[in-house]
Amino acid sequence: MEDTTGSNPQSLGFTEKLRSWLSWSWTYVCFIWFGMVLIMIYVLWSPLKLQETLTSASVFLNTLTPKFYVALTGTSSLISGLILIFEWWYFRKYGTSFIEQVSVSHLRPLLGGVESSSATGLFSSVNGEAEPRPSVSECKVWRNPLNLFRGAEYNRYTWVTGKEPLTYYDMNLSAQDHQTFFTGDTQQLRPEDAVMQKAWRERNPQARIRAAYQAIEMNHECAAAYVLLAEEEATTITEAERLFKKALSIAGKDINLLVYIKRRLAMCARKLGRIKEAVKMMRDLMKEFPLLGMLNIHENLLEALLELQAYADVQAVLAKYDDISLPKSATICYTSALLKARAVSDKFSPEAASRRGLSTAEMNAVEAIHRAVEFNPHVPKYLLEMKSLILPPEHILKRGDSEAVAYAFFHLQHWKRAEGALNLLHCTWEGTFRIIPYPLEKGHLFYPYPGCTETADRELLPSFHEVSVYPKKELPFFILFTAGLCSFTAMLAMLTHQFPELMGVFAKAFFSTLFAPLGFFADKMESFMPSSFWHQLTQI
């Protein structure tokens, strides 16, 4: 067993060296091959009667009629057009060129490229452990932990701008959340619960509010109805807090209601400036319900602690939740990067770093930024204000533009507060894309970036927002080349059809110019080399 294991690295090393040598010598092999072709043309010039063949070809070209050139250019245009249509369909479906994909899959490994079929080591985590391929679940949407209040915040935006900040898809997801969260047990539905189930499904906000009042008339202690009024009817955070406190006093032992209300009360305290009170409420909530980690209450806590500038407490929370076994988020990754950047950013200078190199602390900060950018590449443009922010949606897609909007909306102020942090981010974030392998069949620290984010983000974000797309789907070279070829041949076909005589003259002149160098080369080679050499070579 030891011999087998020990011989594998040697054989792999020899294979890599051979492949590297072949890749290096490929250019010289091409030159040698081209020289041999030229020599073979001269050697076979007389035996194959190439001179007579060229003469016959010239006679043949002179006898062609203009109809032939019309048919030739028309057929070429048709074929190139069909190739273009197929390439475009393949690109729209798979995001890459078919010709390019074949080249990468089959030719690149032969020329020393990295094979993409290896099943080991493709997906490495931050600790070097294997991480699974992204599945459909990686593109599921999550409730935004910091979602705003509809009545006090989203609706105010609509009153001022006339634009709807939430999409119907996003609000429909919220309606489904509320139905399952507040009235999950359909076997014991009370009359007011049935009214509230219908209320969450209503598209019209006024209809939802009327249904909530109807439920309160049926039962003055319907906590879910007060939650709806706090979310949608209250026009200020203070009024929303009052309604949530009323709901909390009558919530009873319904755990889902208690958790939801206490969390929203903590968010009200945060928005009203009572940040220490908000932090205490969030800590108590996490301690009281430790199994509800999927609600991501720790992200609310991190944001509040950053507002207090309690960076040691932020680091303590990160130490607990930035674990390899737990799912990541933009808040986790970028907060970790912010803390490390904050330690060096006030004295960071790109010019000085280029002269002396990066220190250990600066290297750690840069690596943390690269890690965060690889997880969600959309965030930096919002933090650097290269792209306009909008109100965050009620649901986000992890690693998507919706998550980037939600993170930057609440955390941009924390990056601005750390002196030089945005400058460090500006100088280093684009370096991430040089680390990630291309094509994106691999990741560097995380699993490969999922390709399903764009579709989900377009449904979550309003139509007036330009969705950020990564990787940017630029048209492959072969599609542009095929499009140019198709246009060129189509133009030739049209010109040939309109001016057959003139195009026939051009075609004959072109072919004559094309075949002329062969005869010229043969004459020159014969004058440079003695006739005895060529005689012996032909005898061989």
Per-residue pLDDT, 54: 59
Per-residue pLDDT, 255: 86
Domain annotation covers residue 525:
no
Per-residue pLDDT, 489: 75
Angle of CA points 107, 108, 114, to nearest 5°: 145
Domain annotation covers residue 313:
no
Q: Which residue's entry shows tokens 């460090």?
A: 424
Per-residue pLDDT, 79: 81
DSSP class of 152: I
Instruction: Give the model's confidence band at 14: pLDDT under 50 very low, under 70 low, under 90 confident, else very high.
Output: low
Per-residue pLDDT, 540: 43
Higher model confidence: residue 441 or residue 528?
Answer: 441
Per-residue pLDDT, 392: 95
Instruction: Give the model's confidence band at 412: pLDDT under 50 very low, under 70 low, under 90 confident, else very high.
Output: very high
State the virtual CA torsion across 284, 290, 295, 297 in degrees, nearest 10.
Answer: 30
46 has pLDDT over 70: no
Higher model confidence: residue 479 or residue 242?
Answer: 242
Mean pLDDT in residue range 132-149: 72
Among 25-39, 380-394, 457-471, the minimum mean pLDDT is found in 25-39
- Domain of 339 in residue numbering reads as 321-487
Higher model confidence: residue 408 or residue 64?
Answer: 408
410 has pLDDT over 80: yes
Per-residue pLDDT, 534: 44
Instruction: Give the model's confidence band at 123: pLDDT under 50 very low, under 70 low, under 90 confident, else very high.
Output: very low
Per-residue pLDDT, 276: 96
Per-residue pLDDT, 368: 93
Tell me the C-alpha to C-alpha distance, in Å, between residue 395 and each of 326, 391, 457: 20, 12, 10
Per-residue pLDDT, 539: 47
Q: Which residue's entry shows tokens 């290269």?
A: 386
Mean pLDDT in residue range 108-132: 37
pLDDT tens digit sequence for 273-331: 999 999 999 999 999 888 777 788 999 999 999 999 999 999 999 998 877 667 789 99
Report the range out of 71-85, 167-181, 188-202 with the highest average pLDDT.
167-181
149 has pLDDT over 90: yes
**Residue type for position 336:** S
Neighbours of 267 (CB within 10 A): 25
Per-residue pLDDT, 48: 52
Higher model confidence: residue 435 or residue 162?
Answer: 162
117 has pLDDT over 50: no
Which of these, 319, 327, 287, lies nearest to 302 by C-alpha position? Answer: 319
68 has pLDDT over 50: yes
Per-residue pLDDT, 406: 96
Domain annotation covers residue 255:
no
CA separation for the pair 202, 212 (Å, rounded)? 11
12 has pLDDT over 60: no
189, 197 Cβ separation under 8 angstroms: yes
Per-residue pLDDT, 128: 36
Domain annotation covers residue 461:
yes
Instruction: Give the model's confidence band at 217: pLDDT under 50 very low, under 70 low, under 90 confident, else very high.
Output: very high
Per-residue pLDDT, 265: 96
Token pair listed for 372: 């965060």
Per-residue pLDDT, 165: 93
| Partner residues linked to 108 by β-bridges | none
Report the range out of 53-67, 109-123, 224-238, 457-471 with the highest average pLDDT.
224-238
Per-residue pLDDT, 514: 56
> How much is the mean pLDDT over the chain?
77
Higher model confidence: residue 14 or residue 372?
Answer: 372
Per-residue pLDDT, 50: 55
pLDDT tens digit sequence for 220-268: 989 999 999 999 999 999 999 999 999 999 988 888 889 999 999 999 9
Instruction: Give the model's confidence band at 113: pLDDT under 50 very low, under 70 low, under 90 confident, else very high.
Output: very low
Which of these, 316, 461, 391, 358, lies nearest to 156 by C-alpha position? Answer: 391
Query: How many whole angstroms from its chain centre is CA 299?
Result: 23
Domain total in the chain = 1
Cis check: omega of the bond before 9, within 30 degrees of 0:
no
Which of these, 319, 325, 268, 262, lies nearest to 295 by C-alpha position? Answer: 262
Which of these, 392, 528, 369, 485, lies nearest to 82 by C-alpha position? Answer: 485
124 has pLDDT over 70: no
Mean pLDDT in residue range 175-190: 74
Per-residue pLDDT, 261: 93
Domain annotation covers residue 514:
no
Token pair listed for 41: 């043309």
Per-residue pLDDT, 78: 78
pLDDT tens digit sequence for 485-523: 777 777 777 777 777 777 777 766 765 665 555 555 555
